[in-house]
Structure formats: C-alpha cells, structure tokens
Amino acid sequence: MNDFVNDFWPIFINVISLGGILGCALLLWKTSTTKKTQSKDGTSGHVWDEDLREMNNPLPIWWVRLFAITIVFSLVYLILYPGLGGYDGQLGWTKNKQYDKEIAEANKALEPIYAKYAAMSIEDLSKNEDAKGIGQRLFLNNCAQCHGSDARGSKSFPNLTDHDWLYGGSPEKIKETITNGRIGVMPPMAVAVGNEEDIKNVAHYVLSLSNSTHDTKRAELGKTKFTTICAACHGPDGKGNQLIGAPNLTDNIWLHGAGEMNIIKRIHEGKTNQMPLWQAKFSPEQIHVLTSYVWGLSNH
C-alpha cells in the first residue's frame, strides 16, 4: 500500500492533467499556423468511392474559439478547485464541506416543520399521525438499510419492534443512541476460557440460560467458567448489562446467531458492532421525531 501514498502519484496526476491541456493548446496552435495546400477545386486531393472528395476548408472560427475557451476553463478550474494531486485549490472546496453546507441549508429550511413537535413529549409525539409519518420517512431513508424497512432487523442488526434493548429502550436512551451512536465490543475470550472442551462447556451453559437445546452435563461444567469470566459483562445470572450494551443471554434472542457453533465462534473471535452517530446529519428536532417513531415501534 505504501506504493500508493508516496509523492509519485500526485506528480503523475499533475503531468497527465497539465500535459493533456498543454497538448490541446499546442494542437490548436499548430493547426492554426499550418498553411493549407491550395487546389483549384478547394479539395485536399483525396477521393473515395470514385467521386467522394475531401474538402480543404479551415475549422469554423466558432469551433476554434470554443476549443480555446475549454482550455482556459480547464486551467481556471484547476486553480480554483482540487484537481492537481495534493493541491487543495484556491477556494478550499471539498466534498465534505459541500455536504455539510447542503445538510445545514436543508435543516434550516425544515426548522418550521419540526418546531411544533419540539415541545411535545416522545410518548405524545408517537401518537401524532403527522409526526409518525415524518419519523417513518426518516427511518426508511436512513435506518432501514441496517434494521430493515419493517424495523425487525436481521443477523447482527437489532430488532427494534421487541423489548430487547442492548442499551435500554426508554425514550431518553433511544435518543442518546441515535444522537451519539454506539460501539459494542465483545473481546475474544477463548484464551481466558481455556481449551476447546472448556469453550464448548461454556457455550452449553449459555444455551441453558435461555432453556435452549443443550447438554446438561456440559452446562454444569461450564457454569464456573461463565461465572468467573463472562459474568463480568453479562452478569452472574446472564441477564446482561445495559450500561455497557452486554446482551441478555436468558431471553433466547440471538443477535449474532443462535446455537452452539455461533456461541463458540463468538467466544473465539469476539465481535465489534457499530451504530453511527446521527447528530452530524439530523437536527435535534429531527432526532426528537425519529426517537418517537422508534420508541413507538415497540410500545404501541
């Protein structure tokens, strides 16, 4: 990868960009100074299909001028905007600045629409049909890619229509999650748990917590390991900890897949899940409306 982040590539881009423009300018200059071979009939002397003759007329002046304008435009563009390797351009334009500007303008234009909802509680707002419609559109355009259009999620993406919340399902917690995002981390625990037999025993104990199909003997053998190692996050009773987003292992809801093999995989590999923060895109009023929609999915 180091080959792609050295000084060669900016120089390479500059040579191609400026070389192409210079080549066009030289071509235009060359053709404008080259004298035409005169002939009595005004042709170049080339004939095809016995009677198809090539005329020897100069380029139309409007075409020449338009070509010259494009060359000047290209040079001005490369001075004002980033287009030459590491050069940022005189205007300092970036796609991120442009995006932020458009989002800010859009949010400002929408302020009157959301202003009437700002003072309403999440519970009351979730019953307002107009607010629900706005919240649903915000959800479908921004959240459905992960949680699904029906908000029921999929493997590794939480279902928002039930009462199983990693960080809490109160209006305040949902708003906090949408605003700041979440990063959930389970570290690989195989070394701490022990050998493959120990890991399998712990997996069966975890299955027993939700009355899933399991080997009773293995579950008994895995209880001590779970209590001394896994309980630090999931609790001694396996009911999880919403302060750190540790899942409840007793409700038979499996975010990353159920069964012995999936649990063993999590112990070996761990897992990092991230929900992006939305405060950079949404105004506080929009987050308020979106929160009411998400809260309402599991409370109506």
Max CA separation in the chain (angstroms):
107
- What is the full per-residue pLDDT of the chain (300 aa) written as tens digits? 455 567 788 888 889 999 999 999 999 988 877 766 666 666 777 778 777 877 777 778 899 999 999 999 999 999 999 988 888 899 999 999 998 899 889 888 888 888 889 989 999 999 999 999 999 999 999 999 999 999 999 999 999 999 999 999 999 999 999 999 999 999 999 999 999 999 999 999 999 999 999 999 999 999 999 999 999 999 999 999 999 999 999 999 999 999 999 999 999 999 999 999 999 889 899 999 999 999 999 998
Q: Are 249 and 226 in contact (CB under 8 A)?
A: no
Say what the pLDDT of residue 87 is: 85
Identify the helix (H) or strand (E) that includes residue 95. Answer: helix 95-118
Q: 52-58: long-range contacts (C-beta < 8 A, 24 or more apart)?
A: none
Q: Sketch the domain layout of the chain as residue ranges.
A: 2-80, 100-181+276-297, 185-275
Say how far apart CA 88 and CA 108 lie, in whole Å. Answer: 29
Cα separation, 75 vs 92, whole angstroms = 16
Give the span between the Cα atoms of 232 and 226, in whole angstroms: 9
How much is the pLDDT for 249?
97
For domain 100-181+276-297, give its CATH number from 1.10.760.10, 3.40.47.10, 1.10.1370.30, 1.20.1600.10.
1.10.760.10
What integer pLDDT is reported at residue 157 of this predicted model?
A: 96
E strands, the chain, are 43-48, 52-55, 182-186, 271-275
* Same fold yes or no, 100-181+276-297 and 185-275: yes
pLDDT of residue 37: 61
What pLDDT does 3 receive?
56
CATH class of the domain defined by 185-275 = mainly alpha
**Do residues 81 and 73 lie in contact, with contact meaning Cβ atoms separated by under 8 Å?**
no
